[in-house]
Amino acid sequence: MTFSRCSLLSCALLHAVFTRPVLAQDAAMTAVAPATCQAAPATMHSLHKRTYADKVHGFWLGLSIANWTGLVTEMDKIGGTGPTGVFYTRKDWQAKDQPSIWGQGIPSQLSATIDWVVADEDEIWGSDDDSDIEYIYLQLMYNHKQPLLSASQIRDGWLAHIYQDSKTPYKTAEGKPENFLWVSNQQAFDLMQQNILPPFTGMPAFNPHYDMIDAQLTTELFGILAPFRPDIAAQLAYLPIRTTAYGEAADIADFYVAMHALAAGVDPKQPMAPQLQQIARQARLALPSNQYPAKMFDYVWSLYQSGIPWEAARDQLYQRYQLESEDGYEITGKKLYCNGCFAAGINFAASLVSLFYGEGDMQETIKIAVLAGWDSDNPAATWGGLYGYMLGKTGVEQAFGRPFSSKFNIHRTRTGFANQGIDDFSQMAAKASAIVEQMLTQQLAVPQPAAAECWQIPKLLPHKISPL
């Protein structure tokens, strides 16, 4: 296997890219002592704190691998006429990258081929819009010692750590100010500067981009901060999601948050595909059945079960939703730029193709997400983070047969953090662990002994409905 090897900071700023072969025997895996808990009561889940920290490290690592690999093909293929309408297939993996809709005929500067883009142990992962807002939320919850953020805390955090156009040191290729916000995120940020608070920043009356993808890629973190408890995760994520989304787009973001919360119960020693399908179907139950996200889920599931290749399933999604506007998905009728290639809906459907057809294999899932089209780095990052959380740092390294960097530069896209923006996934995991402790006390009212090695997390019990 060939990995694109580059410093992601230098890739983004200097476009220095080269490749080398990486073999499993190159990697020196670090042994992790088994972390076990005593048997929990029937009403409780047990989760070892060391296991959780490894899982959160894996979340950020898997997200970064998939995010940066997905950036190579971001907006290369969106349908329509011309080259952008000829979708990639599995044969395009490790083939020449093709220009994106804004690439002006130039392929990605991250990698000349569609291949892994990673940071070696002596390099630093750069932040992107798939990771930087979640990093802001992590820091806000940690600093405030409060998992449930208020509207003013969200606004103040955005204003403190996101560049205004007049103050950003970055420029686009056209020389315009670059603050690494787009569509709904940018609109929400503009509204915050006018002292408008969430959830109004995500409502259609204030934000015409409320149905774009933004909330999906900024809130999965809340799922891993409420292990086993999608109900609590939904509470923590409610305002952050609705900072930029409304209606079906918010429901889609809720779906991903629920999957990340439920993923705490996945056993990586057992076959992964049926477990992933199970938590996906559990998360699907919260989607209103009469709206397009639920119908998209059911349609993609039916395509997967039919046995057709993933490419054919993806093509049918394009036909059904972007050409025929079925199931109440009406983005095409809005005549948006690139036919709504940033929209929550079509990217949700594409993400389900990679989830189901990846069949429990991390690399295969990310590859399909990268090749499926539209805003490809976003679904890739979502599943990369989910797999990383399920497998943990050690499991991700084993899946790829090599070690990776654990350093993270939030100042690639954001500002105002300590240590000139350089952080470490292990330190980020420690902050997540502290937030889980606070969640157990503040949201579940089950404080844990400070010296305990394991958390006891109450199981989510179904509501009992009394007969009429």
pLDDT in tens, 341-353: 999 999 999 999 9
pLDDT in tens, 82-111: 999 999 999 999 999 999 998 767 889 999
User: pLDDT value at position 467?
Assistant: 56
Domain count across the chain: 1
Beta bridge partners of 383: none
Looking up residue 429, the CATH number of its domain turns out to be: 1.10.4080.10
pTM of the model: 0.93
Task: Count CB neighbours of 63 within 10 A.
Answer: 29
Q: Mean of the pLDDT values across residues 203-214?
A: 98
Please check whether residue 252 is in contact with residue 348, taking contact to mean a CB–CB distance below 8 angstroms. Answer: yes
User: pLDDT value at position 12?
Assistant: 39
Residue scoring higher pLDDT (27 or 409)? 409
User: Is the pLDDT confidence value at 299 over 80?
Assistant: yes
Cβ-proximal residues to 185 (8 Å cutoff; 6+ apart), any chain: 129, 133, 214, 218, 244
User: Is the pLDDT confidence value at 214 over 60?
Assistant: yes
Residue 280 belongs to some domain of the structure: yes
User: Is the pLDDT confidence value at 33 over 60?
Assistant: no
pLDDT in tens, 273-288: 999 999 999 999 999 9
pLDDT in tens, 410-424: 999 999 999 999 999
Cβ-proximal residues to 467 (8 Å cutoff; 6+ apart), any chain: none
Domain that holds residue 201: 50-87+128-402+412-458
Q: Determine what percent of the chain is predicted with pLDDT higher than 70.
A: 91
Q: Mean of the pLDDT values across residues 27-53?
A: 79
Structure tokens at 153: 């805390």
User: pLDDT value at position 35?
Assistant: 82
Q: Is the dihedral of CA 87, 93, 98, 100 positive or negative?
A: positive
pLDDT in tens, 355-366: 999 999 999 999
Q: What is the 3-state secondary structure (H, E, C) of 96-129?
A: ECCCCCCCCCCCCCCCCECCEEECCCCCCEECCC
Please check whether residue 111 is in contact with residue 127, taking contact to mean a CB–CB distance below 8 angstroms. Answer: no
**What are the φ/ψ torsions at residue 46 (nearest 5 degrees)?**
-110, 140
User: pLDDT value at position 103?
Assistant: 76
Residue 372 belongs to some domain of the structure: yes
User: Is the pLDDT confidence value at 201 over 90?
Assistant: yes
**DSSP letter string over 169-190?**
SEE-TTS-EE-S--HHHHHHHH
Helix and strand counts by DSSP (H, E) for the chain:
16, 10
As a whole number of angstroms, the distance between CA 71 and CA 116 comes to 10
In one letter, which amino acid is 450? A
- What does DSSP say about strands 407-409 and 422-424: parallel, antiparallel, or unpaired? antiparallel
Whether residue 21 has a cis bond before it, omega within 30° of 0: no
User: Is the pLDDT confidence value at 258 over 90?
Assistant: yes
User: pLDDT value at position 119?
Assistant: 99
Residue 97 belongs to some domain of the structure: no
Task: Count CB neighbours of 266 within 10 A.
Answer: 21
Residue 6 belongs to some domain of the structure: no
User: pLDDT value at position 302?
Assistant: 99
User: pLDDT value at position 102?
Assistant: 86
As a whole number of angstroms, the distance between CA 425 and CA 408 comes to 7
Nearest to 363 by CA among 73, 1, 32: 1
Beta bridge partners of 96: 113
Structure tokens at 276: 């992933």
User: pLDDT value at position 462?
Assistant: 73
pLDDT in tens, 327-339: 999 999 999 999 9
Q: Mean of the pLDDT values across residues 301-316?
A: 99
Q: Mean of the pLDDT values across residues 239-252?
A: 99
Residue 4 belongs to some domain of the structure: no
Residue 78 belongs to some domain of the structure: yes
pLDDT in tens, 147-160: 999 999 999 999 99
User: pLDDT value at position 23?
Assistant: 30
Mean predicted lDDT score pLDDT of the chain? 93
As a whole number of angstroms, the distance between CA 380 and CA 151 comes to 29
**Is residue 19 helix, strand or coil?**
strand
Structure tokens at 367: 């590859």
Q: Which of 104-113, 120-129, 391-400, 412-421 has the lowest mean pLDDT?
A: 104-113
